[in-house]
């Protein structure tokens, strides 16, 4: 499998009134062609910042350093006009809140037409027929009349399907799904996830799934990247992350998950709190909460290393913390 997207040493800082927020601190990550890579971490750890950095949709007060290489091109160096051709056509994006991600004054078909117009997509039939067809693929009932509906006449799940259908129209190579099911109820979550899996199977779409829901990760991800306070702490195949987490943060995170056993012990929580990114702790950003931290951890940032085949960890202590 080739690498479709390579993020190298990415830094994102936000200028705010209270100072510089170091939101992303040296992230390096590879997304392989055809895989589902889940980016997981708690709220505010920088997951969405990474996705916006890839799309170059960060607000003006952000400064970005590093490289984001998509199919050999560094996206951060492309002129805006080239970038627009990539957005939607090459890299698609699905947002967390389907209730507000559609223009309220457009009908569904108006909205989807935009994709055809911007990227001059080829059509076999009329654009409207193509749209109805896409809506049928994402299993929207009564597609003809739904195409003429306004977003507020559709349920949240339905709207998210419209978003997926929109992405289908251009068939992007990489789909960034930023918490696509967080705002939906559980049954609809499963349907949307299945839809995305179908996409992946039928069109070999690569999916970068951003979520804080480990349940979703376990269901559809191939590999998982764990983020903490703007740094990637662990990258591994999904089974490894759940069965054999190596980074102390990942381990605490996994212990904090309800397992659904009858003999449920009390859930653990991670002591301490997420650091303030205005003044992040030096070295490994997890060290103030880490039970194994010593002076080495406060010194320099641990580099991410492949400790087992396909299993990367950024921790000085890995190996020493294996025995549970």
Q: How far apart are CA 120 and CA 110, in angstroms?
A: 15
Element (H, E) at 62: strand 62-70
Q: How far apart are CA 240 and CA 96, in angstroms?
A: 27
- For residue 97, is it left (φ>0), alpha (ψ between -120 and 50) or beta? beta
Which of residues 149 and 244 has its CB atom nearest to another protein in the complex? Answer: 149
How many residues sit close enough to another protein to count as binding (CB under 8 A)? 35
Instruction: State the maximum Cα–Cα separation within the chain, in Å, rounded to a whole number.
Output: 66
Min dist. Cβ of residue 171 to another protein (A): 13
Regarding 103 and contact with another protein (CB under 8 A), the answer is yes
Window of 9-17, 100-108, 213-221, 304-312 that interacts with another protein by CB under 8 A:
100-108
Dihedral (Cα; 71, 77, 80, 84), 10-degree rounding: 10
Which of residues 58 and 293 has its CB atom nearest to another protein in the complex? Answer: 58
Min dist. Cβ of residue 108 to another protein (A): 11
Specify whether the CB–CB gap between 86 and 245 falls below 8 A: no
- Count of beta carbons in the 10 Å neighbourhood of residue 59: 8
Q: Are strands 73-74 and 91-94 parallel, antiparallel or unpaired?
A: unpaired
Which of residues 117 and 124 has its CB atom nearest to another protein in the complex? Answer: 117
Q: Which residues contact 280 (CB under 8 A, 6 or more apart)?
A: 22, 25, 229, 230
Give the relative orientation of helices 156-170 and 127-137 as an angle to the nearest 10 degrees.
120
Specify whether the CB–CB gap between 86 and 78 falls below 8 A: yes
- Of the residues 9, 77, 129, 153, which one makes contact with another protein according to CB under 8 A: 153
Which of residues 172 and 230 has its CB atom nearest to another protein in the complex? Answer: 172
Give the relative orientation of helices 127-137 and 108-118 as an angle to the nearest 10 degrees.
110
- Of the residues 26, 41, 46, 151, which one makes contact with another protein according to CB under 8 A: 151
Residue span 54-73 as binding mask against another protein, x where in contact by CB under 8 A, dash where not = -x-x--x-------------
Regarding 122 and contact with another protein (CB under 8 A), the answer is no
Window of 97-105, 214-222, 259-267, 276-284 that interacts with another protein by CB under 8 A:
97-105
Regarding 106 and contact with another protein (CB under 8 A), the answer is yes
- Of the residues 6, 32, 67, 84, which one makes contact with another protein according to CB under 8 A: 84
Which of residues 127 and 307 has its CB atom nearest to another protein in the complex? Answer: 127
Min dist. Cβ of residue 200 to another protein (A): 19
Which of residues 102 and 138 has its CB atom nearest to another protein in the complex? Answer: 102
Min dist. Cβ of residue 57 to another protein (A): 6
Q: Which residues contact 144 (CB under 8 A, 6 or more apart)?
A: 132
* Both tokens assigned to 105: 């004054």
The binding site for another protein (CB under 8 A) comprises: 55, 57, 60, 84-89, 92-93, 95, 97, 99-106, 114-115, 118-119, 145, 148-153, 163, 166, 170
């Amino acid at each position: 499998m080739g690498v479709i997207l390579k993020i190298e040493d990415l830094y994102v800082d936000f200028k705010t009134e209270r100072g510089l927020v170091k939101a992303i601190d040296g992230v390096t990550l590879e997304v392989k062609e055809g895989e589902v890579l889940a980016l997981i971490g708690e709220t505010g750890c920088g997951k969405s910042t990474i996705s916006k950095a890839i799309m170059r949709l960060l607000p003006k007060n952000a400064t970005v350093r590093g490289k984001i290489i998509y199919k050999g091109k560094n996206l951060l160096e492309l002129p805006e006009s080239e970038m627009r051709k990539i957005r939607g056509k090459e890299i698609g994006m699905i947002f967390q809140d389907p209730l507000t991600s559609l223009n309220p004054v457009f009908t569904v078909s108006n909205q989807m037409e935009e994709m055809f117009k911007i990227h001059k997509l080829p059509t076999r039939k009329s654009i409207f027929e193509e749209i109805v067809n896409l809506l049928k693929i994402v299993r929207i009932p009564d597609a003809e009349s739904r195409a003429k509906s306004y977003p507020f006449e559709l349920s949240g799940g339905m709207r998210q399907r419209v978003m997926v259908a929109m992405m289908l129209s251009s068939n992007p190579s990489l789909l960034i799904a930023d918490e696509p099911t967080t705002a939906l109820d559980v049954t609809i979550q499963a349907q949307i996830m299945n839809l995305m899996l179908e996409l992946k199977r039928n069109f070999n779409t690569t999916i970068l799934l951003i979520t804080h829901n480990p349940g979703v990760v376990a269901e559809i991800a191939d590999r998982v990247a764990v983020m903490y306070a703007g740094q990637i702490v662990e990258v591994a195949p999904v089974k490894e992350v759940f069965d054999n987490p190596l980074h102390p943060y990942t381990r605490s995170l996994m212990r904090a998950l309800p397992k659904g056993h009858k003999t449920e012990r009390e859930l653990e929580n991670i002591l301490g709190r997420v650091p303030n990114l205005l003044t992040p702790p030096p070295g490994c950003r997890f060290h103030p909460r880490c039970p194994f931290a010593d002076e080495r951890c406060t010194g320099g940032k641990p580099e991410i290393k492949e400790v087992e085949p396909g299993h990367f960890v950024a921790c000085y202590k890995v190996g020493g913390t294996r025995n549970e």
